[in-house]
Amino acid sequence: MSVVDRPPLRALTRREADIFACLCDAAVDPRPPMPEVRDTRAVRFFDDWLARAPGPNRAGLRAALHAMELAPLRRSRWRRRLRALPRERRAEVLEHAAKGRFGQAAVALYSMAQLAYYGDEAVMRSYGYDPDAVLERARRLRREERRW
């Protein structure tokens, strides 16, 4: 799974971005009419999040990405890196990792992947949520009720 090169990534390497995209794809399992991960800004969101995170947090999450990439190599039935597995197997790896030794890191990445995907504007619109309409309604209510 490939991510767009422009604009350049701020905190992730290209490899880490690809790992996150695969992880995100497994975590959300997008089905039509939901857009594919590559058609969203999920990876860019995660990259921006890491760029703004404190150094130790950034280093820990990047290490967790690499650990998730290598996790399937420990299991005799998978024997490939995360990115080389089909979506269904990647989902199994995530589930297995969440129950394992580094479960908290796996759950954190899984949650961040869901947040990055479902927070994307194209994804929100695909399931009927219109953020612009919500903002406009809130602005109108503030004016009418003379709040703030």
pLDDT tens per residue, range 57-86 = 999 999 999 999 999 998 778 889 999 999
**Per-residue confidence band for 148, with pLDDT thresholds at 50, 70 and 90:** low
What are 98-129's pLDDT values in tens digits?
998 889 999 999 999 999 999 999 999 988 99
- Whether residue 59 lies inside any domain: the answer is yes
Is residue 48 a part of any domain in this protein? yes
Please report whether residue 99 resides in a domain.
yes
DSSP class of residue 75?
S
If phi > 0 it is left, if psi is from -120 to 50 it is alpha, else beta; for residue 79 that is left
| Torsion sign (Cα): 126, 89, 102, 71 | negative
What per-residue confidence (pLDDT) applies to 6? 61
- What pLDDT score does 76 carry? 74
> How many structural domains comprise the chain?
1
**SS3 category, 73:** helix
Report if residue 3 sits inside a domain: no
Structure tokens belonging to residue 73: 């190599």
**Of 19, 16, 12, 13, which is closest to residue 82 (Cα–Cα)?**
19
Residue 27: partners with Cβ closer than 8 Å, 6 or more residues away: 91, 94, 110, 113, 114, 117
Q: Is-above-0.85 flag for pTM?
A: yes
29 falls within a domain? yes
Share of the chain above pLDDT 70, in %: 95
Residue 109 domain-assigned?
A: yes
Q: What is the pLDDT of residues 87-103, one digit of tens each?
A: 999 999 999 999 988 89
Range of the domain at 114: 14-145
Residue 106 lies in a domain: yes
pLDDT bucket at 30, cuts 50 / 70 / 90: very high
Q: Is residue 6 part of a domain?
A: no
